[in-house]
Amino acid sequence: METQKELNLSAEASRILNKNWRESFTVPSSSLYPFQWLWDSGFNAMGWANIDLERARTEIKTLLSAQWKNGLIPHITFHNDSADKMYFPGAEFHGAYHSPNSPDHVKTTGMTQPPVLGFVLEYLYEKEKDKSENLEFYKSAITSIISFHRYLYTDRDPYNEGLVYIRHNWESGSDNSAVWDDVWKMYQPPVYNVERKDTTHVDQSQRPTKRDYDYYLNLIDISKQCNYDEAEMFEKLPFLIQDPMFNGILAASNQSLIKLCELFGMNDEKTQCEFWHAKTTAGLNDKLYDASQSLYRYYDLKNECYISMPTAMGFTPIMAGSPTKEQAAEMAKKIMGEDFTGPRLDGFLCPSLAVTSPSFEHNRYWRGPVWLQVNWILERGFRQYGFNEVADRLKQDSLSLVQKDGFYEYFNPKNYSDEKGGYGGNDFSWTAAVILDFIN
C-alpha cells in the first residue's frame, strides 16, 4: 500500500516530467537547461518508464538520432534554432556542426557525457510487460550504444588500459567539482567577456565562478580549433582525465549490454561487451582504486598524476561490480562515516564532496551538494553488494530531501531542520525521475 506522502510525491514527479516534456524529449529544467542533455535524458527515460513507456522509448530514440558518424553521443542536442538566445554556450559557440562527424539534421555539442544508456535500456526493457513487442527498438538501440562504446574505447583509451578519458570537465557531469582545481592550476586561459545565462536563473553563489567558465570556454575553443578531430584534441587539450564515475558508468552499462545481448541473441556483440567490461573493471581496480581513501580516484593523463579527492563520484564504480567484497565493505564504512555524513553522522547522503574537505561548499553546485541521480547509482551499487543499510539510507535521504525542500537540482547535505536546502533549478526532471523509481 502506498502512503499518502508517496502518492503526493508520485503525482508531483509525474507533473514535473510532463511539464518538461517537449514533443519527443525531456528538458532537464524548463528555464535553466532548455535542450536535451545525454545523461539527464537517460535518467528521465527511466522516470518515464514508471509512468509511460512509450515516452521513455521516444526519449531514447530522439537522443540516439543525434549520434555522430564516429559513434559519439553528444552531451547536448540543440533541438531548435533559438538555442543561442536561451542558453550559453549554445550551438554557435560550440561550433561542432563544422565537424565532418556531426549529424546533418540537428546541431549538437562536440563532447559527450557519462555513458548511462546501457543500464537505462536494461531498465526500460525490464519494465516492458510484453517482452515480444518493440524488439526493433531495443536491437537498434543496443547497436547504437555499442557503437558509442566502441568510439570511446577506440578514440579515448590511448594506452589500452580499459579506462577512457574525458576531454572537458562537462563530460564528467560533475562540472565544477573540486577535483578539477588541480588541473586548472596548470595553465591560464584567456578572460572571456561573455554573457552567461545560467546566473539569470540561479543565484551566482550556487553556480560555477566566472573564472571557472573561462576554463570551460577555453577547452571548447581549443576543440573548435581542432575541428573536433580526436587525435588533434588529444595532442592539444590541457584537460585529459580518467574519471572514475565516467568509467564506472561505462562498465555498468557494459554489464547491462551483456545481459541484453544475451536475451536478444546478439552473440558477437555480447562477447565484445564482456571483453570491455572485464577490461574496464580491471583498469578501475588496478589503477584508480585508492585503498588509503577507500574510494576511487582520478588520473590526469596530461600532467601524469593522480588526483585524490573525497567525492561521491569516487564511490560510483560500485554499481559496475568493480570493487572486491572487502573493498566494498571499506567503501560502505567510508560513506557512513563523518567525512560524508558529518560530525553528528546525521547529514544527508551523499555530498558531492566530503563535508570535511577544505573545498566543501554546502550550496555550490558540484562542490558539496547532494545530487539525486548520483544517489540512485550508489543505492543500486551498495544494494547489489548486500549493504542494505547504506542503500536504505541513500534512498531515505533522497526522499527526505525532496519532501523537505522540493524537486530541486541539488541539495544541502547538512541537516539543519529549520533551513531550506534545495538549490539550482526547481521542478528538475532527473530529481523527479529518481523519485519515481524510488517509490515504485
Q: Hey, what's the cell of 384?
A: 547489489
Q: Is 407 in the site for ligand 2M8 (CB under 6 A)?
A: no
Q: Where are the alpha helices (DSSP H) in 189-346?
A: 198-201, 210-225, 230-236, 244-263, 267-283, 325-336, 338-341
* 437 counts as catalytic: no
Minimum CB separation of residue 269 from ligand 2M8 in Å reads: 28
CB 372 within 8 A of CB 430: yes
**Subset of residues 41 to 100 that bind ligand 2M8, contact rule: CB under 6 A:** 75
| Cβ contact 190:218 at 8 Å | yes
Which segment (136-144, 170-178, 255-263, 374-382) binds ligand 2M8 by CB under 6 A? Answer: 170-178
- Please state whether beta strands 410-411 and 422-423 pair in parallel, antiparallel, or not at all (unpaired): antiparallel
Active site residue 409: yes
Q: Which of 9, 10, 26, 33 binds ligand 2M8 (CB under 6 A)?
A: 33
Site for ligand 2M8 in 100-159 (CB under 6 A): none
Which CB, 114 or 381, lies closer to ligand 2M8?
114
Nearer to ligand 2M8, 31 or 357 (CB): 31
The residue type of 431 is: T
The residue among 75 and 279 lying less far from ligand 2M8, judged by its C-beta, is 75
Q: Using alpha carbons, select from 352, 384, 145 the residue that is nearest to residue 269.
A: 145
First to last CA, the chain: 11
Q: Which is nearer to ligand 2M8, 18 or 199 (CB)?
A: 199
Calpha distance 291→92 (Å, rounded): 44
DSSP states along 78-116: E-STTHHHHSSS-HHHH-GGGSTTS-SSSEE-S------
Q: Are 198 and 128 in contact (CB under 8 A)?
A: no
Residue 170 or 299: the one with the smaller Cβ distance to ligand 2M8 is 170
Residue 427 touching ligand 2M8 (CB under 6 A): no
Question: Using the 8-state DSSP alphabet, how is residue 266 labeled?
Answer: -
Minimum CB separation of residue 74 from ligand 2M8 in Å reads: 11
Q: Which residues lie below 8 Å from residue 310, measured CB to CB, with a gap of 6+?
A: 293, 295, 339, 340, 353, 354, 356, 357
In whole angstroms, how close is the CB of 37 to ligand 2M8 at the nearest point?
4
Closest approach of ligand 2M8 to the CB of residue 92, in Å:
16
CA dist., res. 106 & res. 293, Å (int): 44
C-alpha 136/C-alpha 302 separation (Å) is: 42
**Distance of closest approach, residue 427 Cβ to ligand 2M8, in angstroms:** 12
The yes or no reply on residue 175 touching ligand 2M8 (CB under 6 A) is yes
Rg (alpha carbons) of the chain, rounded to whole number: 20
Per-residue cell: 221: 575553443
39 binding ligand 2M8? (CB under 6 A): yes
Binding-site string for ligand 2M8 from residue 309 to residue 328, where x marks contact by CB under 6 A and - marks none: --------------------
Give the shortest CB-176-to-ligand 2M8 separation in angstroms. 8
Give yes or no for a contact between 68 and 155, defined as CB atoms under 8 angstroms apart: no
Residue 182 to residue 198: CA distance in whole angstroms: 25
Binding residue (CB under 6 A) for ligand 2M8 from 170, 215, 239, 376: 170
Q: How many CB atoms are located within 10 Å of the residue 151 CB?
A: 21
Query: From the candidates 155, 409, 427, 437, which is the catalytic residue?
Result: 409
Q: Do 159 and 234 form a contact (C-beta atoms < 8 A)?
A: no
Considering only 37, 137, 138, 438, the residue that binds ligand 2M8 (CB under 6 A) is 37
Q: Which of 171, 175, 269, 427 is catalytic?
A: 175
Considering the rule CB under 6 A, would residue 369 count as an interface residue with ligand 2M8? no
| Residues 377, 383: Cα–Cα separation, whole Å | 10
Candidate segments 32-40, 49-57, 178-186, 382-390, binder of ligand 2M8 by CB under 6 A: 32-40
In the three-class reduction of DSSP (H, G, I as helix; E, B as strand; rest coil), residue 311 is classed as: strand
Find the part of the chain contacting ligand 2M8 (CB under 6 A) among 34-42, 186-194, 386-394, 415-423. Answer: 34-42
Beta carbon of residue 28, minimum distance to ligand 2M8 (angstroms, whole number): 4
Q: How far is the CB of 403 from ligand 2M8 (least distance, A)?
A: 22
- Total of residues contacting ligand 2M8 (CB under 6 A): 10
Q: Does 230 bind ligand 2M8 (CB under 6 A)?
A: no
Find the part of the chain contacting ligand 2M8 (CB under 6 A) among 31-39, 60-68, 119-127, 238-246. Answer: 31-39
Residue numbers annotated as active site: 175, 409
Site residues (vs ligand 2M8, CB under 6 A): 28, 33, 37, 39-40, 75, 170, 173, 175, 198
